[in-house]
């Protein structure tokens, strides 16, 4: 891991490329099973792909929005500070009545090499997002702007996405099944467990094809307890 500390509170360990590439080979189902094994809740309920078939994997760059007061704020200038390969994670409080991401943000993020975006809330300008095939995962889409409705309250501080705490640098993975947050301190352990789970599930299929019943194959591989958390 490389340590990075910049002006925007980027005080965390940056994951090696080899680890990120390994996670890209796993689906979110195996990753949430691996988190269950550790007693960690990481699934981001209700977050889905805007463009079917897109995936993302990268460390979190977090942003929190709050309702505007009398003084109006800004809704997207933070994008200048997002490092290449990171995932923008926006806590908009699950708001459905205004967006904090649209066509300009999508085009700039794609040009900068941002890995994708996750929003506890909605986006707009879906046609542009579809044309770019930009990986963005949200709770829906709605055309009303967030300008003069919400403003940035914090950048790269812990946020809440679907009641899950997401800290700067945590690993975010999203695919057709949904999105998951893996706390940075358990990334390598989660990778090992998820790889083991996927290997055993593949072995179950192979055993069935070789003549065993599904029940027998599952029992042999301990299927029903692959994700079970055991207290130390």
Q: Which residues of the chain have pLDDT under 50?
A: 1-6
The reported pLDDT for the residue numbered 2 is 41
Helix count (H) and strand count (E) of the chain?
6, 12
Q: pLDDT per residue over 32-81, tens digit each?
A: 999 999 999 999 999 999 999 999 999 999 999 999 877 666 677 899 99
DSSP state, residue 128: H
Question: Rounded to whole angstroms, how far apart are CA atoms 128 and 115?
Answer: 17
Beta strands in the chain (DSSP E): 2-4, 12-14, 48-49, 56-67, 87-99, 116-122, 136-138, 150-155, 159-161, 164-166, 171-175, 178-182
The reported pLDDT for the residue numbered 73 is 64
Segment holding 196, helix H or strand E: helix 187-209
Is the Cβ–Cβ distance between 99 and 146 less than 8 Å? Answer: yes
The reported pLDDT for the residue numbered 131 is 96
The reported pLDDT for the residue numbered 4 is 43
Is the Cβ–Cβ distance between 135 and 117 less than 8 Å? Answer: yes
The reported pLDDT for the residue numbered 186 is 97
pTM of the predicted structure, to 2 decimals: 0.92
């Amino acid at each position: 891991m490389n340590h990075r500390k910049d002006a925007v509170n980027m005080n965390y360990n940056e994951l090696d490329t080899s680890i990120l590439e390994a996670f890209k080979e796993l689906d979110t189902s195996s990753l949430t099973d691996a988190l269950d094994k550790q007693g960690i809740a990481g699934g981001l309920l209700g977050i889905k792909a805007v463009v079917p078939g897109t995936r993302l994997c990268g460390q979190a760059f977090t942003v929190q929005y709050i309702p505007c007061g009398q003084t109006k704020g800004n809704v997207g200038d933070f994008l200048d500070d997002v490092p290449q390969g990171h995932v923008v994670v926006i806590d908009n409080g699950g708001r459905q009545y205004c967006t904090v991401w649209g066509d300009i943000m999508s085009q700039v993020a794609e040009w900068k090499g941002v890995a994708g975006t996750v929003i506890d809330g909605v986006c707009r300008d879906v046609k542009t997002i579809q044309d770019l095939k930009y990986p963005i995962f949200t709770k829906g889409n709605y055309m009303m702007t967030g300008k003069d409705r919400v403003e940035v309250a914090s950048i790269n501080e812990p946020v809440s996405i679907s009641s899950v705490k997401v800290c700067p640098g945590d690993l975010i993975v999203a695919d057709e099944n949904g999105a998951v947050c893996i706390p940075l301190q358990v990334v390598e352990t989660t990778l090992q467990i998820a790889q083991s789970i996927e290997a055993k599930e593949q072995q179950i299929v192979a055993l069935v094809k070789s003549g065993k019943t599904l029940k027998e194959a599952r029992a042999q591989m301990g299927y029903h307890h692959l994700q079970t958390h055991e207290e130390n």
